[in-house]
Amino acid sequence: MSDADKPQLYLITPPDLELATFPDRLAACLDVAYISCVRLRLATTDEARIAKAADALREIAHARDVAIVIDSHIQMVERLGLDGVHLKDGSRSIKATRKELGADAIIGTFCGNSAHDGMTAGELGADYVSFGPAGLTSLGNGAIAPFDLFEWWSQMIEVPQVAEGALDVDLIRQLTPYTDFFGIGDEIWAQEDATAALKTLIAAMN
């Protein structure tokens, strides 16, 4: 498989990050590999804190021609100079979000393990859909997005798909021929050396 055929990388921030250190960790990862997009995923609802994080990470991402989207907060996209939004409700908000943000905004959505929800989202104008978790996790209801979903989608549907959630070297290796993007977050941020962890996952695509 040539580099052009391999999945692209999509980095997802931790839900709670330290602005004194995380921007440098993100920059280091963006400098060791081609990253197509960064998703700002914060658990807080403190608008000032979200805005401060968005300002810091947008500067780092845009300096490297990397797009940055935000989880859920549609109203913040234009105000914070972001490139789009990642929705978490499948196909339900796609149409209204596209109308609000316009044709140029990146709009993606999480569809769990539902091919039907993914197809509907694509028909309504989603730029990508994400499926997950791809691996075993105790988070959420624990329902895994199965391998055959990614395989079927890659063969039948043109809308790009993201595989995310509890990825490891074996899953990366297995899914590389079938997904368009790997959404990587805690898999690297939970490690002391995020860049080394990222390189390990990238190596599994070879």
d(Cα 57, Cα 46) in Å, to the nearest integer? 17
Average pLDDT, stretch 183-206?
97
d(Cα 12, Cα 79) in Å, to the nearest integer? 21
Mean pLDDT of the chain: 96
In CATH terms, is domain 3-203 a member of 3.20.20.70? yes
Average pLDDT, stretch 30-35?
97
Question: Taking 90 as the threshold, does the pLDDT of residue 26 lie above it?
Answer: yes
Give the domain ranges of the chain: 3-203
Q: Over the stretch 167-184, which tens digit does the pLDDT of each residue have?
A: 999 999 999 999 999 999
**CB-based burial label for 103 (10 Å; 0-12, 13-18, 19+):** exposed
Supply the pTM of this predicted model.
0.96
Q: Over the stretch 94-106, which tens digit does the pLDDT of each residue have?
A: 999 999 999 999 9
d(Cα 51, Cα 56) in Å, to the nearest integer? 9
The C-alpha torsion from 78 through 82 and 83 to 84, rounded to 10°, is -70
Average pLDDT, stretch 12-39?
97
Q: Over the stretch 116-168, which tens digit does the pLDDT of each residue have?
A: 999 999 999 999 999 999 999 876 677 899 999 999 999 999 999 999 999 99
DSSP label of 45: -
The pLDDT of residue 5 is 86
Spatial CA neighbour of 39 closest among 26, 48, 28? 26
